[in-house]
Amino acid sequence: MVDERTGHILDAALTVFCQYGYGKTTMQDIARAAGMSRAALYLHFPSKEGLFREGSRRAHFRALDQVDAALAAPGDVVSRIDAAMAAYFGGLMAQITSSVHGGELLDASIAVTGDIVGEAHAALVARLAGALDAASVAGEVQFSTAGTTAQDIVVLLLAAADGLTKASTDPREWRERRALLLRLVRAGIAPSNAETPAGHRDAGRAAGWSQP
């Protein structure tokens, strides 16, 4: 957790990064947006890179908190994983993707905060796989039907989510393909003696990860 003052600086910095891009943003720009002198800003953060990293770390912590909340909610495990992925990527990407500098900011995230992103991604995989494993123990899903593991399924879902966002810019087409993927996953790991309820089929058609 960060203190209120640091949180204010990080909020101001994100707005400035989205306005100017990572490369053109200066510490003076951030100080001005935060309502403080550049000297005062340097007392909190020694560099723009350090500030960007702390902002990334906070954003990923928040996103993982949202994942935990989604996985703890009622519902079948595939729907909860769907909601968790929506919360994670939606929380991280909403402001960045609305910026004309979104591409540059994503590149900066890889170059400057790649270790933070990687650690958060590993934590996401562990949480989602844990939910699937718990559902398997409860008899809700069965991995032997598809000859796979919880982690394999999660890795596939995350890769597909990334690929689908790049395959089409049409939101309707994107949602339909996501819904199809969820129906296939649900059917593939359903217990061999179970029938897919009509409600789950309808939910699958309507399901979709939030726009990142």
What does the pLDDT read at residue 206?
A: 43
What does the pLDDT read at residue 201?
A: 47
pLDDT of residue 77 exceeding 90, the answer is yes
| Tokens encoding 168 | 């089409």
Reported as a single tens digit per residue, the pLDDT across 21-41 is 999 999 999 999 999 999 999
Reported as a single tens digit per residue, the pLDDT across 102-145 is 889 989 999 999 999 999 999 999 999 999 999 999 999 999 87
Cβ pair 59, 113 in contact under 8 A: no
What does the pLDDT read at residue 145?
A: 78
Residues of the chain with pLDDT > 70, as a percent, come to 89
What does the pLDDT read at residue 42?
A: 97
pLDDT of residue 210 exceeding 50, the answer is no
Residues of the chain with pLDDT > 90, as a percent, come to 67
